[in-house]
Amino acid sequence: MTLVSGWGRFPVVDSEVLRPRSFEAVGAAVADVSGSVARGNGRAYGDAAIGAVRTIAMTGFDRVRSFDPATGRIRLEAGVLLSDLIDTFGPRGFLPFVVPGTRFVSVGGAIAADVHGKNHHGEGGFGRYVDSILLRTGQGETIEVSREQNSDAFFATVGGMGLTGIILEATMRLRPVETGWIRERVISASDLDAAMRALEASDSATYSVAWIDCVARGRDLGRSLIYLGEHASADELAEGADRFPIGKNPGLAVPLDLPSMTLNRYTIRAFNELYYRMGARRAGGDHVVSLYPYFFPLDSLSDWNRIYGRRGFLQHQCVIPEQGARAVLGDILDRVSKRGDASFLAVLKKLGHGDGLLSFPLPGYTLALDFPVKGDILNFLDEIDRLVVAAGGRLYLAKDARQSRATFEAGYPALPRFKAIRKSLDPAGNIRSKLSQRLFDEV
Amino acid sequence: MTSRKTVLVLGGSSDIGRAAARAFAKAGYDVGLAGRDAAALEPDAVDLHARYNVEASTWTFDVLDTASFDGFVAGLPVLPDVVVSIIGLLGVQQNAESDLAHATTIMRSNYEGPSLILGLFAEKFLARGHGTIVGVSSVAGDRGRASNYVYGSAKAGFSAFLSGLRARASRGGVHVVTVKPGFVRTKMTEGMKLIGPLTVDAPVVSDAILNAVEKKTDVVYVSGKWRLVMLIIKTLPEAVFKKLKF
Ligand SMILES: Cc1cc2nc3c(=O)[nH]c(=O)nc-3n(C[C@H](O)[C@H](O)[C@H](O)COP(=O)(O)OP(=O)(O)OC[C@H]3O[C@@H](n4cnc5c(N)ncnc54)[C@H](O)[C@@H]3O)c2cc1C
């Protein structure tokens, strides 16, 4: 057994980690024990990518099977990282349609969580650009699933957190781009109302996201910087600029777990003040930035999760339906700012419809907050969850490590349907993760 | 046909071999992948073509079957510009201490086979007047250690072969590179205790290989830290060294 955890380093649990080298070996690994789940690059925060008994590491499967440079259609193994796709196909004029806030996620993980990017409000999630999936079920079959073929299994697999089986390969579409640069516009918003208005007014922007200073209080509550983005065309680049910028691998690493002292209300407040002022100064006109800092601002510091110290941290990401979102978000932010120990920065963004049965997005606003694991944080988050549930919202499974069954069931009405499909694909229940055990497996 | 450069990777199914093939393909080389099971290399050849739009082919090559070497080289449709040997077998030192067959396999896989095949290519390259030969050896060859001297001594032999070959071949326009990776996270080292700061991933090794080929470097320690570590280890007096446990 090995101690395993997600990106948040909480919880840390026992699971046997296997690294199969062939699809046959994947099948064997799933067949001979009850309680396995696939793991991509381990960027889910909580316990989603940890098998109840056995965890099947997939990053070794990183081959491209075919690529059509005329259409951008690509078939690949599930362990290919988006960073690899961007570095390889970006210079050839293609990027993934959807990228999350880190590029170090695998294609399998991106499908399983149906990840959303800064374009979800207009262009939907990762799964929308996936045409078909080669799935190894718990029952031992290898099947191709798509919108036309085994469509139940397809919509259960997109956003299904690995619980329909192991994704071996996928066919998807890439976005044709002229350059690897983004034309960015920064808007500063002095409070939550202004931030929500700005996001609302930016519905036609391809990319939009707000970084909220969540220690600001009173009149400043919800003050934020909104980052809009469009793909830059070749003639928008500066003279002599490369069409495709180089994505440097993170050079800096956090060498050790910082003592939890480092993050306190004073350091966070000082950081946020600085961040807000620097951003506000850039507000206004358009400028062209490399896709790397635009999409992946945190990737330049590797192992940054260690900043939160040995005990790890929790991310709380909820989505609240548009109706009534203002009041609930205000209430949450108010409680968070009063505590004063939350994240450096919170992320606020508008989402559209999700595609998969358990896909997180629904039309409304999503707020993501980080908290170090300490004190009464679990109770505090339960309190926040009650507000989310009352507003008809839900929590993101890829970030979750602690929500209750009741919170989960209230937020995901398609759960019974998902369970029925899962049962038909895996009657013996071979595929199980720590997350599914916690939230919905029959005990 | 294309006028692109070609590289032949011997040991193409290893993690470093796959990474090296990608590094060269990315730099625009057509790639030949050689290994014991050519069919098993096919998906990697497909991957190289899909990613980098280069030609990629697969070849059957067994480093222990030295009798087949002449035929293998003669059977290649083009003599590559660069040949890289990533073949190696760590084996199990404890077993090799009493099991002669196992010790022989380690010695032959790390010294005899790689040296003979690269020597053959060197002759062809010299006759043509250009070419680059890359041998992936090991820091383990810099000094025999109690814990892995069967492997280490074979790598030492290989390193010595490469340095002699370099001295001779450089006069004929042929360049020889010796690569000494330290700890690399691969299938070979899976489950071993590796020292974090001294350990690298396969793409770091392959980038170092490509870089050495293009810059005509002679000996590459993949991580600069190893040069220092090995300098210290090499200069320890034997009386001290034999008391150390490692
Ligand atoms: C800094 C940071 C920023 C992030 N920003 C965003 C964001 O903006 N939007 C967003 O949506 N998410 C975001 N995430 C979350 C991340 O995108 C998801 O957790 C994603 O699933 C991680 O992919 P992974 O390959 O690391 O998968 P893992 O974390 O290893 O696994 C995640 C889930 O996918 C399943 N899975 C993985 N591979 C397979 C496979 N081959 N077959 C079947 N199931 C599989 C696992 O079982 C698990 O349920 C962020 C995470 C970090 C660390």
**A183 pLDDT more than 70:** yes
Task: Classify burial at B184, counting beta carbons within 10 Å of its beta carbon; exposed 0-12, middle 13-18, buried 19 or more.
Answer: buried
Task: Classify burial at B231, counting beta carbons within 10 Å of its beta carbon; exposed 0-12, middle 13-18, buried 19 or more.
Answer: exposed
pLDDT band for position B104 (cuts 50, 70, 90): very high
pLDDT at B171: 94
Say what the ipTM of the complex is: 0.91
Cβ-defined contact of A64 to B51 (cutoff 8 Å)? yes
pLDDT at A262: 62
CA-angle at A230, arms to A224 and A231, nearest 5°: 140
Residues of B in contact with A67 (CB under 8 A): 50-51
CA dihedral for A175, A181, A187, A192, sign (positive or negative): positive
Q: How far apart are the CA of B99 and the centre of ligand 1, in A?
A: 47
**A239 pLDDT more than 90:** no
Largest CA distance in chain A: 63
pLDDT at A256: 65
CA atoms in the 13 A half-sphere facing the CB of A222: 23
Q: Which among B44, B52, B190 has CB closest to A63?
A: B44
Question: What residues pair up with A133 in beta bridges, in sequence order?
Answer: A145, A170
Query: 3-state DSSP call for residue A276?
Result: helix
**B204 pLDDT more than 90:** no
Residue A231: closest CA among A293, A290, A296, A300: A290
Q: How far apart are the CA of B200 and the centre of ligand 1, in A?
A: 24
Question: Does residue A66 belong to the interface with chain B, where contact is any CB pair within 8 Å?
Answer: yes
> Per mean pLDDT, which range of A9-23, A191-205, A300-314, B214-228 is the poorest?
A300-314
Q: What residue ranges in A245-326 does DSSP mark as E strands?
A: 252-253, 286-290, 301-302, 313-321
Q: Give alpha helix (H) positions in chain B.
A: 15-26, 38-52, 69-75, 93-98, 100-107, 113-128, 149-169, 202-215, 224-235, 238-241
> Per mean pLDDT, which range of A134-138, A353-357, A360-364, B202-206 is the poorest?
B202-206
- Asked if residues A268 and A372 have their Cβ atoms less than 8 Å apart, the reply is no
Q: Is residue A43 in contact with ligand 1, taking CB distance under 6 Å?
A: yes
Catalytic: B151?
yes
Q: Is residue A38 in contact with ligand 1, taking CB distance under 6 Å?
A: yes
Q: Is residue A106 in contact with ligand 1, taking CB distance under 6 Å?
A: yes
A87: number of Cβ within 10 Å:
18
Average pLDDT over residues B114-120: 98
Question: Does residue A69 belong to the interface with chain B, where contact is any CB pair within 8 Å?
Answer: yes
pLDDT at A113: 98
Mean pLDDT of chain B: 93
pLDDT at A257: 66
Q: How far apart are the first and last CA of chain B?
A: 52
Q: How far apart are the first and last CA of chain A?
A: 23
pLDDT band for position A215 (cuts 50, 70, 90): confident
Q: Is residue A336 in contact with ligand 1, taking CB distance under 6 Å?
A: no
**A188 pLDDT more than 70:** yes
pLDDT at A131: 98
pLDDT at A299: 84
Q: Please state, in angstroms and rounded to a whole number, the distance separating the CA atoms of residues A73 and B27.
A: 23
Query: 3-state DSSP call for residue A3?
Result: strand
| Backbone dihedral region for residue A44 (phi beyond 0: left; psi -120 to 50: alpha; all else: beta) | beta
pLDDT at A291: 95
B6: number of Cβ within 10 Å:
21
| Backbone dihedral region for residue A439 (phi beyond 0: left; psi -120 to 50: alpha; all else: beta) | alpha
CA-angle at A415, arms to A414 and A418, nearest 5°: 90
Percent of chain A residues topping a pLDDT of 70? 95
Q: Which residues 135-164 in chain A show a CB within 8 A of chain B?
A: none
pLDDT at B234: 85
Q: Dump the DSSP string for A8-71.
A: T--S-EEEEEE--SSHHHHHHHHHTSS-EEEESSS-SSSSTTSBSSEEEE-TT---EEEEETTT
Q: How far is CA A1 from CA A4, A125, A249, B156, in A?
A: 9, 35, 31, 37
B133: number of Cβ within 10 Å:
24
**B2 pLDDT more than 60:** no
Name the residue with higher pLDDT: A308 or A216: A216
pLDDT band for position A340 (cuts 50, 70, 90): confident
**A350 pLDDT more than 60:** yes
> Per mean pLDDT, which range of A281-295, B96-110, B139-153 is the poorest?
A281-295
pLDDT band for position B77 (cuts 50, 70, 90): very high
Closest ligand 1 atom, CA of A135?
Answer: 42
- Which are the contacts of A144, defined by CB distance < 8 A and separation ≥ 6? A132, A133, A134, A135, A150
Q: Please state, in angstroms and rounded to a whole number, the distance separating the CA atoms of residues A309 and A294.
A: 27
Closest ligand 1 atom, CA of A398?
Answer: 19
pLDDT band for position B8 (cuts 50, 70, 90): very high
Q: Is residue A377 in contact with ligand 1, taking CB distance under 6 Å?
A: no
pLDDT at A255: 64
pLDDT at B195: 77
Closest ligand 1 atom, CA of A160?
Answer: 49
> Per mean pLDDT, which range of A196-210, A295-309, B154-168 is the poorest?
A295-309
pLDDT at A283: 78
Mean pLDDT of chain A: 93
Average pLDDT over residues A400-417: 98
pLDDT at B47: 98
Cβ-defined contact of B50 to A64 (cutoff 8 Å)? yes
Catalytic residue, chosen from B29, B52, B111, B151, is: B151
Question: Does residue B47 belong to the interface with chain A, where contact is any CB pair within 8 Å?
Answer: yes
Q: Please state, in angstroms and rounded to a whole number, the distance separating the CA atoms of residues B26 and B211.
A: 13
pLDDT at B185: 85
